Structure 1
Amino acid sequence: MTIIGALKDACREVHARTRGVAGTARGNRQTGRRGAGGDISRQIDLLAEKTAINVLKKHGIDATIIGEECGRIEGKEGYVIMDAIDGTTNASRQLPFYCCSLAYADEFQLSAVKDAAIINLVNGDLYYASKNKGAFCNGKRIRVREAGDDVVIGMNVSGINDDVIKRLAPVMSKANHVRQLGSLAIELCYLAKGSLDASIDFRGKVRPVDIAAACLIVREAGGQVYSDKGVDLDCELGVETRVSFVATAHEKVFRDLSTDLF
């Protein structure tokens, strides 16, 4: 099986195994320890991650795993960047916006991601991409939205400091539609399929496991992902890495945002 095939299969199995667990007492139970990403792990996080790892092993994927819960598990070739539940708080509160995100890179850099798969764990929609081969949802090619005036922006403002507030304030005051959705990976998939025009997180708290798969999907759908310096986003894939980013559907939105952000 191809790598992208294994990632997709792992996503489907995580969906099947967690479907009746999200929002239940069993799924919400805290484990008493923090995952490698720094958050308190819940049972549903561990179930999803174990499921994904087992499926990848079954398909002979012997890559080093960089995971939200497990940290780093050494392998022989390449890297799998894994957030088995992105949006755990949403899942625990039965807010229908969370996903499983998996990416494969042949080097330890975001720019080296070659394959990506993300499954919406609420409705089963499966987004995936391979480098230079386009982005898809449930087998159909997806593209970012064409340039328009009615812009919808996803923006994470949880725990932002005064400096970030000042930086984002002009954007927030001009934008008619700002959304905070609670899962960056699936939010970026919505950008890739044309539901959002931009996604911004300038808190300096984003981990590569959150967005590694989604960045490839956005770029293969025709969008762009930039750092908070206004250059193409790239970083190491370690669990200790933190970044800020702005993703846009097209150059016009980026130019408009750049006036206020950079």
Structure 2
Amino acid sequence: MKNPKMLRLIAEHIAISVARFLRLYTPPATVVGEHGGDYIRVFDVEAERRAIKLVSELLPKSIVITEEQGYVELSKDPEYVVLIDPVDGSNNLAANIPWCSTSVAIAPASAHGLGDVVASAVASVFGEFVLSYSVSEGVLYNGEPLKRREKPSNIMVMYADKLEDYSIAYAYTLLYPATRVRILGSVCLDLALLVRGSIEAVIDVRGKLRNTDIAAVYPMLISTGCAVEMSPDASSIRLDKLVSGIMLYAAFSREYMDRVRKAIDYAKELRARIV
């Protein structure tokens, strides 16, 4: 098995290469299918094809888990499992909104859960930055050790499908009036902001997240001291197949996770009063 730094460099190369392709992509964002309620566009398919090709060249003894194809076996005797989200924020990219990313996570083939990722990278398609990680180096920003902010900006990001779930965001702003709520459209990139210490929290209660959405950024969150809670628990989210239905609560620190919990409890109180 290659050393963690080498695996981190490989993850970076794949993420940056695919992100660069997407940044320069010019054909129409034609919809060619649908998966899990999300549209599949031409650039999703092509970005995934390019990512898998790069893995086959750089880590041929691998299995690959992707958004569209699911399970791709490159070797009968794999050493690695590579989870790829070629385009997180497809709707933004289709609308030319500069907030989307490519992410790559690498773990041993024997890995059991998200905590077993040994190297990863998240590349912004438009922002010209890459966050990367290895178990031996920690988190890096554009190849240098990350200097995390000591205090986040008063911004919380939230995703929900049901109107009643947005009561959490409403309750949060009632409890903490200085905080503003945003919906940015790329959960992985939002979580990268949390890793950097730029925002307070990211909440996604839709139950639609996949392991490919969060595998690359999860070890970065843990390494930088963020508080993370998921359903199902991170240790039970398998890496050797595509897993969906994940809910996530992530915060700058334990202190800010306490804010999230208080907002959830207060939202329940508010809904009970209405009923």
TM-score range, shorter chain: 0.7 to 0.9
State the Cα distance separating 1:77 from its structure 2 match: 2.4
State the Cα distance separating 1:228 from its structure 2 match: 5.4
Q: What CA deviation, in whole Å up to 9, does each residue of 1:47-75 have, x standing for no partner?
A: 21111111121113422111011111124
Contact 2:151 2:197 in 1 (8 A): no
Equivalent in 181, 185, 195 of residue 182 of structure 1: 185
Matched, 1:59 2:58: yes
State the Cα distance separating 1:145 from its structure 2 match: 3.6
1:131 is aligned to 135
What letter corresponds to residue 128 of structure 2 in structure 1?
Answer: G
Matched, 1:79 2:81: yes
1 CA distance for matches of 2:221 and 2:138?
9
2 CA distance for matches of 1:143 and 1:246?
23
- TM-score after normalising by structure 2: 0.83
Contact 1:65 1:73 in 2 (8 A): yes
1 CA distance for matches of 2:257 and 2:144?
26
Contact 1:192 1:221 in 2 (8 A): yes
Matched, 1:241 2:244: yes
2 CA distance for matches of 1:58 and 1:248?
37
State the Cα distance separating 1:222 from its structure 2 match: 2.4
2 CA distance for matches of 1:252 and 1:172?
16
Contact 1:27 1:42 in 2 (8 A): no
Q: Which residues of structure 1 form unaligned runs of 5+?
A: none
1 CA distance for matches of 2:206 and 2:230?
12
Matched, 1:207 2:206: no
Q: What CA deviation, in whole Å up to 9, does each residue of 1:161-183 have, x standing for no partner?
A: 53x24455422433421111100
Contact 1:191 1:197 in 2 (8 A): yes
2:14 is aligned to 10
Equivalent in 185, 196, 199 of residue 196 of structure 1: 199
1:99 is aligned to 101
State the Cα distance separating 1:226 from its structure 2 match: 1.0
Equivalent in 209, 216, 221 of residue 218 of structure 1: 221
2 CA distance for matches of 1:10 and 1:44?
16
State the Cα distance separating 1:223 from its structure 2 match: 1.5
Matched, 1:170 2:174: no
State the Cα distance separating 1:132 from its structure 2 match: 5.2
Contact 2:112 2:235 in 1 (8 A): no
Contact 1:15 1:124 in 2 (8 A): no
Contact 1:128 1:135 in 2 (8 A): yes
- The alignment's C-alpha RMSD in Å is 2.3
Contact 1:233 1:245 in 2 (8 A): no
Moved over 4 A (4+): 231-234
Contact 1:117 1:126 in 2 (8 A): yes
Name the CA shift for 1:254/1:139 in 2 (closer, same or farther; >3 Å): same
User: Which stretch of the first structure deviates more once superposed, 171-180 or 129-138?
Assistant: 171-180
2:29 is aligned to 28
How many positions carry a matched residue from both structures? 253
Contact 1:66 1:72 in 2 (8 A): yes
State the Cα distance separating 1:151 from its structure 2 match: 3.0
Larger C-alpha radius of gyration, 1 or 2? 2
1:155 is aligned to 158
2:268 is aligned to none
SS at match of 1:122: coil
2 CA distance for matches of 1:144 and 1:233?
26
Name the CA shift for 1:260/1:169 in 2 (closer, same or farther; >3 Å): same
2 CA distance for matches of 1:204 and 1:6?
31
1 CA distance for matches of 2:34 and 2:197?
35
- TM-score after normalising by structure 1: 0.87
Contact 1:125 1:138 in 2 (8 A): yes
What letter corresponds to residue 202 of structure 2 in structure 1?
Answer: S
1 CA distance for matches of 2:71 and 2:231?
27
